[in-house]
Amino acid sequence: MKQSVKELKNTANLIRQDIIKMLARAGSGHPGGSLGLADILTVLYFSVLNHIPSQPNNPRRDRLILSNGHVCPALYATLARARYFPLVKLKTLRQINSQLQGHPHNLSLPGVETSSGPLGQGISQAVGMALAGQMDKGDYSIFCLTSDGEHDEGQLWEAVMTAAKYQLGNLINIVDRNNIQIDGYTKDIMPLKPLKQKYSAFGWQVMEMNGHNLKQIISVLNRARRVKNKPVVIIAHTVLGKGVDFMENKFIWHGQAPNQKETTKALQQLSHQP
């Protein structure tokens, strides 16, 4: 059953708390992007995607490809909240022999569609899945989450051209546009502007959204699904570290786990959000 906007907001908040607890226990990981994608992942799994957690390999399911695999704490927490596996497993993030590896492995957990880590490759995987779905006349959609920083990779743009060539109307690429990558701000490392015009020139339908406005996320994702003659890219404007004030928009939190004091402060802030 699809959640109401109020329920979605509560779920996203719980997922953010899960992320902080997981990373604090593990002592390593990537909080910034994980917190920033919590709202989008919540809407996908609790409102938009056609999926059955008890049947993770159902051939008619929508597929979610996480290209920026370092933000897997957000995906793991979302899958657990959606009942793909017990919540207690979240405590094992990054432990030896854990199913919750530092980057996703598709043979470890139900609901994880692809293994990811090397940036720029997820969209290529998604294009392949979308092309297969088109050839098989499948009625499912392929959603791919990509980071803005991985748009520095040449392979990504090769995949973008391929998707346009084959008019993959079953492919939706959601770009996490938080303007930050591991070394700093994207405008300083490798400017991406004008990103919207680039995708348009490559033959994609371009949409934009506030990646934290739940109603807008629902509306834009559903509108993207209705496009059938070309691939769709959604540029989602997000805040790295969303919900934790000392992490927001600070690139040092791309890949730094909180210590105990920071964890307590972060969880206090999240527990008091309306």
pLDDT for position 162: 98
pLDDT of res. 182: 87
If 0-12 CB within 10 Å is exposed, 13-18 middle and 19+ buried, where does residue 9 land?
middle
Provide the pLDDT for residue 215. 98
Q: Is the pLDDT confidence value at 274 over 90?
A: no
Query: Both tokens of residue 273?
Result: 């959000």
Average pLDDT in the 76-93 region?
Answer: 97
pLDDT value at 273 more than 80: no
Task: Tell me the whole-structure pTM to 2 decimals.
Answer: 0.97
Place of tokens 């790295």: 240
For the segment 68-90, the average pLDDT, to the nearest whole number, is 97
Mean pLDDT of all residues in the chain? 96
pLDDT at 52 over 90: yes
Q: How confident is the model at residue 272 (pLDDT cuts 50, 70, 90)?
A: confident
Answer yes or no: is pLDDT of 13 > 80. Answer: yes
Taking only the tens place, the pLDDT of each residue in 233-251 is 999 999 999 999 999 999 9
3-state secondary structure labels for all residues of the chain: CCCCHHHHHHHHHHHHHHHHHHHHHHCCCCHHHHHHCHHHHHHHHHHHCCCCCCCCCCCCCCEEEECCHHHHHHHHHHHHHCCCCCHHHHHHCCCCCCCCCCCCCCCCCCCCCCCCCCCCCHHHHHHHHHHHHHHCCCCCCEEEEEECHHHHCHHHHHHHHHHHHCCCCCEEEEEEECCEECCEEHHHHCCCCCHHHHHHHCCCEEEEEECCCHHHHHHHHHHHHCCCCCCEEEEEECCCCCCCCCCCCCHHHHCCCCCHHHHHHHHHHHHCCC
Percentage of residues in the chain with pLDDT exceeding 90?
A: 95
pLDDT band at residue 220 under the 50/70/90 scheme: very high
Q: What is the pLDDT of residue 117?
A: 79
In this prediction, residue 241 carries a pLDDT of 97
Q: Which of 96, 87, 77, 73 is nearest to 257 (CA)?
A: 73
Supply the pLDDT for residue 156: 96
Domains of the chain: 5-271 (3.40.50.970)
pLDDT at 118: 84
The string of pLDDT tens digits covering residues 159-216 is: 999 999 999 999 999 999 999 998 899 999 999 999 999 999 999 999 999 999 999 9
- Residue 120's pLDDT band, with cuts at 50, 70 and 90, is confident
CB-CB contact of 90 with 113 (8 Å): no
What pLDDT score was predicted for residue 35?
A: 98
